[in-house]
């Protein structure tokens, strides 16, 4: 695996786990017992794998710069910003979820859902910009510079 960045291999785990965790957190409104625990498990493992994916991003940036040049740099910065926001939002949701386990406050559940949904939105945006870097930069060369304007 020498020279191949881990980031593209790792990103799929948090995407699947966090999005499915959000869906199960919504389902847990009506069917608490199983779905509540399953949502916490998926969100927690999704968050941990998300941190690993986030930390591996630097290697992917170095790999891309070596192979494709630096035309995508502003796109990579936006991608990183949304990835960080995603981790913060899901980190808050999981923290609130842990509080809910110990303090059983009804007002926490809507907050958890809001943070999960916002995190899912930023996760989608993060994936969009990641895909733009891979598919546009890799296959179309300088086309990325026109995409950075369309934030």
Task: Give the global pTM.
Answer: 0.84
pLDDT digits (tens, 9 = 90+) for 74-123: 888 899 999 999 999 999 999 998 888 787 777 888 999 999 999 999 99
Task: Please tell me whether residue 150 adopts helix, strand or coil conformation.
Answer: coil
pLDDT given at position 8? 85
Distance CA 145, CA 138 (A): 13
Going by C-alpha positions, the residue among 57, 20, 50 that lies closest to residue 35 is 20
The alpha carbon of residue 92 and the mean position of all alpha carbons in its chain are separated, in whole angstroms, by 14
8 Å CB contact between 51 and 59: no
Distance CA 151, CA 125 (A): 10
Ranges of H-type helices in the chain = 7-10, 12-27, 32-55, 57-68, 73-103, 108-131, 138-140, 144-147
- Per-residue pLDDT at 3 exceeds 80: no
pLDDT given at position 139? 54
Task: Please tell me whether residue 6 adopts helix, strand or coil conformation.
Answer: coil
Q: Which 8-state DSSP code applies to residue 2?
A: T
Q: What number is the average pLDDT over the span 15-37?
A: 93
- Per-residue pLDDT at 6 exceeds 90: no
């Amino acid at each position: 695996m020498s020279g191949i960045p881990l980031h593209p291999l790792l990103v799929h785990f948090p995407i699947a786990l966090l999005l499915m965790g959000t869906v199960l957190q919504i389902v847990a409104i009506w069917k608490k017992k199983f779905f509540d625990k399953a949502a916490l498990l998926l969100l927690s493992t999704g968050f941990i794998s998300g941190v690993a994916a986030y930390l591996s991003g630097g290697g992917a940036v170095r790999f891309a710069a070596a192979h494709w040049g630096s035309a995508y740099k502003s796109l990579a910065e936006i991608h990183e910003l949304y990835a960080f926001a995603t981790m913060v939002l899901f980190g808050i949701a999981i923290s609130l979820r842990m509080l809910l386990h110990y303090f059983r406050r009804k007002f926490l559940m809507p907050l958890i859902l809001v943070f999960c949904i916002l995190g899912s939105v930023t996760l989608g945006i993060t994936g969009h910009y990641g895909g733009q870097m891979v598919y546009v930069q890799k296959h179309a060369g300088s086309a990325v510079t026109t995409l950075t304007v369309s934030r």
